[in-house]
Structure 1
Amino acid sequence: MSLLLNVPNAEKEHAASMGAQWDQVSHTWYLPEDQYDRLIEVARWIPEKHPAIILPTEISVVQAGRPCWKCQHNNRVIALAGNYFYEKDINERDESVWRAQDFFTVFQQVSAISDNLQTFLNDYYPRYKRAWSNTLGNYYWSNHCESCDSIQGDWFLFDEAGSVFNPTEREEAARLTIRNHTLKYAPLIDAVYSLGDHARLINEFAERADL
């Protein structure tokens, strides 16, 4: 779960003293997970401007089928998920900290993703792309209809009880598929998530498959 860093040559010795290491093959700097207690110290070299969540290098994608609200074309829709991740937070002294979160959840309202995750999504899930949401008043990564290109909004996919990524019954969760793919470096996202029985159902009963 190594995190890619953007370290200028003039700062390489400083970065090394903070736990960063040099990848001889990729010619890049990275922070190994056993040094994640120094995430705040290396924040200046994290390429993303406002990272909020660090996913594991083995990312999970929950996949489902759902008719488009506009043209009724049956689409493949996806949600990013994680069994274990790091989340940026504020402690009791009003200081920034990174907390390890050891549970399964699915992410929605994804407002930013790292370049390596964007490349992966473009290759495997090109209908999941950034677009303006009138409902949320901002740009978010959303599913789009394969036929008419309409946004398949997160409200209809995540928030309504019984929607594809918010199952209330075992049978609903069993219609989902979780696919895993391993990236070289940990992807980052800015998103929200919720805890509840729907996440447990997906984790326990969704079909597992590899890319």
Structure 2
Amino acid sequence: MPRIDLNVPFAEKDEAKRLGARWDGERKVWYVPDGVATNVFGRWLPREPDISVRSSIYFIAQTINPCWKCGEHTSAFGFILPAGHEMLEPDDEDDDRDAWCRYDEPTIVHYVTDLLPGVVARIKAFSRHYCVDFSKTTQSSYWMNHCEHCGMKQGDFEMYCEPQGAFFPMDEHAASQIVLHEFAEPFGCNGGAVYGNHLFEYMRRA
């Protein structure tokens, strides 16, 4: 049975310890040790992400992009979903609920939050520089790229929405610089979807 990690605020760490939680100094997280009942840790148990985008298959897209701050070339990552992914949309027949709608063209997702734990594990295996941070521009926190050299945030708008951005190629050559790593497993997040001609067919499969 996989270990259960806990979301324990610093101010509540002594109480968690008293109830039997243990501290993993390497991963910097409290967890439930074997043989200890989980019911006493209810308030700290991880919640299921509240997702609005899902797919049974996804790609981690990888490319190189110059940092706007230091000018050095740094790795950049994003998520591409193939045709057949779904998004929650307002239900035309019921204003009080949403319905899953299927899309028959691929998309790039941006301003990503609430990633499924399995996807988090995958992206962390690629880079520690793609992580959640606060954006003054959007006044929100989301998963974003950071420069490998100077640590500066690399905002999603320039990468995904501006022509010639890291994930907005304008020609076949630029698209071929993007490498796609495929995972035949569930993807889920909250975020926005970018549609249009992103020349997906010219991106390289790993």
Give the unaligned 5+ runs of structure 2: 1-46
Q: Which residue of 2 aligns with 1:178?
A: 180
Classify 1:157/1:133 alpha carbon distance in 2 versus 1 (closer, same or farther; 3 Å): same
Q: Residues 18-167 of structure 1 correspond to what in structure 2 (within 5 A)?
A: 47-48=48-49, 50-56=50-56, 58-83=57-82, 84-93=84-93, 94=95, 95-167=97-169
Shift of 1:181: 2.5
| Separation (CA, whole Å) in 2 of partners of 1:114 and 1:66 | 26
Of 109-118 and 133-142, deviating more is 109-118
Deviates more, 1:149-158 or 1:128-137: 149-158
Secondary structure of 2:114's counterpart equals strand
Q: Which residue of 2 aligns with 1:204?
A: 201
The 8 Å contact of residues 134 and 140 in structure 2, kept in 1 or not, is answered as yes
Counterparts of 1:124 and 1:173, CA distance in 2: 20
Cα offset for 1:55? 2.2
In 2, the alpha carbon distance for the partners of 1:194 and 1:155 equals 11
RMSD: 1.6
Q: Would you say how many aligned residue pairs link Structure 1 and Structure 2?
A: 157
What is the aligned-residue identity percentage? 22
For residues 109-145 of structure 1, what are the alpha-carbon distances to aligned partners after superposition, in whole Å with 9 as ceiling and x for unaligned? Answer: 1122121211221122321100000111100100011
**1:43 corresponds to:** none
Question: Where do 4+ consecutive residues of structure 1 move more than 4 Å?
Answer: none
Amino acid in structure 1 at the alignment position of 2:193: Y
SS at match of 2:170: coil
- Residues 86-113 of structure 1: per-residue CA shift (max 9 Å, x gap): 2111121223211222221111111221
Match of 1:13 in 2: none
SS of the residue corresponding to residue 148 of structure 2 reads coil
TM-score by length of 1: 0.70
